[in-house]
């Protein structure tokens, strides 16, 4: 390596190099060549990827780019579940294990591809019997159980647009999402389990639908056999009763490549979450290609992604991607430290996991509790490690590499978003890894670090992370708000603006620093300051609130709230607790501020916008930067 003279990136450039066999045997066995081939013919590159999948009708054209709108595989017909299930059922994977589920209490259930295919089809027929049709929106609000994946696949089978809402969201957050998508059916469960405790879901749903008039029916998976919850037949249906008597064949809906596939909500910088809309064909190709190439997925791999299918990571890399490649997928309801901090390592040993994909916040928690936990287990089955959700800091990289991968396994630190649908930046298997840097854009993606005018900034200088060319799994719109979609492409001329700050080194490796906007990433969860603020302000004692993210060694960030009380209200511990409770009930436990400070004023611009940047700088004792717009 040449010396790096840049003043802003001063650390010594240190690369980790996996054994040469990794590269030799990888699906992408030469990054530079694959990237050059892609650049020379982007459309041909994606067309070759699409040929790995089965289609009911081929495309007339691969890509139509009418800035800022892209259409992919135009004219093609498909159903993703055909590639996830039918295709394997028809070949040597028929009896291969598709899903191994571990419950919170250690119980295990196994589905072969054939069994999963049958269950999906029966549930899909059940949904059809309720009158669910192509294009109808179905909300899935479930714990991590096989039925959660079955519900998603069943929607995909009949062309219903699923909107999966993470089971940790509160009633108000659920109502907002039900209404925004004009949801017809909600699929839920009586309870989820977390650290041995029962988390009621059905009561939250029953609460949430009171203000969601579009909801016609609630399908309930009843897990508690001894004390089953009541089914109110005028509105509710039991999950397995719905399947009973249904044939296990279900003709897949023939989907157009550009038909909407699913909606997934993500926090926005206003209080309203954005319903990110993905399309059938392009998402299928992007998910398949990245699962195969980024993880270097082989037929005998045992793959475990620890994300909840309620997030995009779970959509693309628990359910759709790994099933399309015919993989064996481990699905776990439990938490990393229950019943003890060895829980994850025990699962890896028990099941012989070869590819493990988790979040930096979990890795940092494991670092804190110590090496004695992983050291109790045999982790030699591991072949590839992955990370996603927030920056993997060099200390966490090194620990993950040494203690879990035993200095042997490549780490793919994958940067992407709900909006991108698929992984975009990482270090492909076998390539030299630079801790702290996600890596380079994968073949198929053109990423860059730019200034506000869209010009590349010099190596070593911070800038905005953008994508310069459309990609198949990109979002197509924001549900019901296309203007918000256009903002992604129209803020920086000619580029998709990701909303992150980044630095590129002279070799093209990208370090993602964090958000450039009003989002806070807490333990890998994307939380809008405005959502928390509006939950606080809805409390009768609160006049105004502002929320900032503060760096936290474990969670990445924690939330601090500044609150102005209404006249006649006095600050108290009791009130702090009430506010915490308010946020917990409205948004869910992960959005709860860890600090609340009562203040008399908030720094504002002359036009009345709260300057969170100033609050944050004061809190951290650093220079607040340009204050010319501050009103005093």
Residues that bind ligand WT7 (CB under 6 A): 266, 312-313, 388-391, 413-418, 438, 498-500, 512, 515, 521, 526
**Complex with ligand WT7: residue 153 or 388, whichever CB lies closer:** 388
Shortest spacing between CB 522 and ligand WT7, in angstroms:
11
Sign for the pseudo-dihedral over CA of 334, 335, 337, 341: positive
Long-range contacts from 605-614, C-beta under 8 angstroms, 24+ separation: 605/629, 605/630, 605/631, 606/631, 610/544, 610/546, 612/518, 612/529, 612/546, 612/547, 612/548
Shortest distance in whole angstroms from residue 609 CB to ligand WT7: 22
**Nearest CB to ligand WT7, comparing residues 273 and 470:** 273
SS3 sequence of 287-332: HHHHHHHHCCCCCCCEEEECCCCCCHHHHHHHHHHHHHCCCEEEEE
**What minimum distance in Å lies between the beta carbon of 264 and ligand WT7?**
9
Nearer to ligand WT7, 209 or 521 (CB): 521
Classify the C-alpha dihedral 117-123-126-132 as positive or negative.
negative
Please check whether residue 450 is in contact with residue 495, taking contact to mean a CB–CB distance below 8 angstroms. yes
Q: How far is the CB of 618 from ligand WT7 (least distance, A)?
A: 24
Q: Least distance in Å: CB of 539 to ligand WT7?
A: 27
DSSP letter, residue 414? E
Using the minimum distance from each CB to ligand WT7, give the nearer residue, 447 or 542. Answer: 447
| Minimum CB distance to ligand WT7, residue 387 (Å) | 6
CA quadruple 313, 351, 326, 32: dihedral positive or negative? positive
Supply the minimum distance, in Å, between the C-beta of residue 590 and ligand WT7: 12
Query: Closest CB to ligand WT7 among 505 and 544?
Result: 505
**How far apart are alpha carbons 151 and 140 in whole angstroms?**
7
Region for 492 from its dihedrals, namely left if φ exceeds 0, alpha if ψ lies in -120 to 50, beta otherwise: beta
Residue that the structure tokens 């004061």 belong to: 618
Task: Indicate the residue among 164 and 219 with the shorter CB distance to ligand WT7.
Answer: 164
Least distance CB 501 / ligand WT7 (angstroms): 9
Q: For residue 605, how far is the Cα from the chain centroid?
A: 34
Nearest Cα to Cα of residue 186 among 214, 225, 158: 214
Say how far apart CA 571 and CA 579 lie, in whole Å: 11
Element (H, E) at 206: helix 202-208
Question: Which residue, 526 or 529, is less far from ligand WT7 as judged by CB?
Answer: 526
Report CA 532 to chain centroid distance, whole Å. Answer: 20
* Residues facing residue 139 across a β-bridge: 163, 186
Q: State which residue, 154 or 511, has the beta carbon closest to ligand WT7.
A: 511
Write b or e for each residue in 526-554: b if 16 or more Cβ atoms lie within 10 A of its Cβ, otherwise e: bbbbbbbbbbbeebebbebbbbbbeeeee
What the block records as the tokens of 491 is 């803020």
Q: Which is nearer to ligand WT7, 143 or 389 (by Cβ)? A: 389
- Of 80 and 498, nearer to ligand WT7 (C-beta) is 498
CB of 421 to ligand WT7, least distance (A): 9
| Least gap, CB of 557 to ligand WT7 (angstroms) | 11
In angstroms and rounded to an integer, the radius of gyration of the C-alpha atoms of the chain is 24
């Amino acid at each position: 390596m040449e010396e790096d003279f840049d003043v802003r990136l001063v650390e010594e450039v240190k690369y980790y190099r996996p054994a040469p066999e990794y590269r030799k045997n990888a699906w992408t066995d030469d990054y530079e060549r694959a990237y050059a081939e892609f650049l020379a013919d982007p459309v041909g590159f994606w067309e070759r990827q699409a040929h790995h999948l089965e289609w009911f009708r081929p495309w007339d054209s691969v890509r139509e780019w009418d800035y800022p709108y892209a259409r992919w595989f135009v004219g093609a017909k498909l159903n993703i579940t055909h590639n996830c299930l039918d295709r394997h059922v028809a070949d040597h994977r028929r009896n291969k294990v598709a899903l191994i589920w571990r419950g919170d209490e250690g119980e295990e259930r196994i589905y072969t591809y054939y069994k999963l295919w049958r269950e999906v089809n029966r549930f899909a027929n059940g949904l059809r019997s309720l009158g669910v049709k192509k294009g109808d929106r179905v909300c899935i609000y479930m714990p991590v159980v096989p039925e959660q994946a079955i519900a998603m696949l069943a929607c995909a089978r009949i062309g219903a647009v699923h909107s999966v809402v993470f089971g940790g969201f509160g009633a108000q957050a659920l109502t907002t999402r039900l209404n925004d998508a004009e949801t017809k059916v909600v699929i839920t469960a009586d309870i989820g389990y977390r650290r041995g405790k029962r988390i009621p879901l059905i009561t939250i749903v029953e609460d949430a639908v009171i203000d969601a008039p579009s909801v016609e029916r609630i399908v309930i998976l009843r897990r508690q056999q001894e004390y089953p919850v009541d089914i109110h037949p005028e509105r509710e249906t039991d999950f397995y009763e719905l399947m009973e008597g249904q044939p296990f064949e279900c003709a897949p809906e023939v989907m157009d490549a550009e038909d909407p596939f699913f909606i997934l909500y993500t926090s926005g910088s206003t209080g309203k979450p954005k319903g990110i809309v993905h399309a059938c064909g392009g998402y299928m190709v992007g998910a398949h290609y990245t699962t195969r190439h980024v993880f270097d997925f082989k037929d005998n791999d045992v793959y475990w992604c620890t994300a909840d299918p309620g997030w995009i990571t779970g959509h693309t890399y628990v359910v759709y991607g790994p099933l399309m490649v015919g993989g064996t997928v481990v699905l776990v309801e439990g938490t990393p430290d229950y019943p003890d901090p060895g829980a994850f390592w025990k699962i890896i040993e028990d099941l012989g996991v070869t590819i493990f994909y988790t979040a930096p916040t979990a890795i940092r928690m494991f670092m804190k509790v110590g090496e004695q936990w992983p050291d109790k287990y045999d982790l030699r089955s591991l072949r590839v490690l992955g990370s996603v959700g927030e920056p993997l800091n060099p200390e966490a990289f090194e620990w993950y590499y040494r203690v879990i991968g035993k200095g042997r396994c490549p780490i793919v630190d994958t940067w992407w978003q709900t909006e991108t649908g698929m992984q975009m930046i990482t270090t492909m298997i076998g390539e030299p890894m630079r801790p702290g840097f996600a890596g380079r854009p994968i073949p198929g993606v053109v990423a860059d670090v730019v200034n506000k005018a869209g010009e590349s900034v010099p190596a070593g200088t911070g800038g905005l992370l953008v994508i310069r060319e459309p990609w198949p799994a990109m979002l197509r719109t924001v549900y019901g708000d296309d203007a918000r979609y256009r903002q992604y492409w129209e803020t920086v001329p000619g580029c998709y603006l990701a909303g992150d700050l980044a630095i590129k080194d002279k070799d093209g490796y990208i370090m993602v620093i964090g958000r450039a906007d009003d989002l806070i990433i807490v333990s890998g969860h994307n939380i809008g300051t405005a959502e928390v603020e509006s939950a606080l302000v809805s409390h009768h004692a609160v006049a105004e609130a502002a929320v900032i993210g503060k760096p936290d060694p474990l969670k990445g960030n924690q939330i601090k709230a500044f609150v102005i009380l209404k006249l006649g209200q006095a600050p108290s511990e009791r009130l702090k607790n009430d506010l915490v409770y308010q946020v917990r009930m409205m948004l869910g436990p992960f959005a709860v501020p860890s600090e609340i400070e009562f203040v008399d004023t908030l720094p504002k611009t002359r036009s009345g916008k709260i300057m969170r940047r100033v609050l944050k700088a004061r809190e951290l004792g650093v220079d607040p930067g340009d204050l010319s717009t501050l009103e005093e």
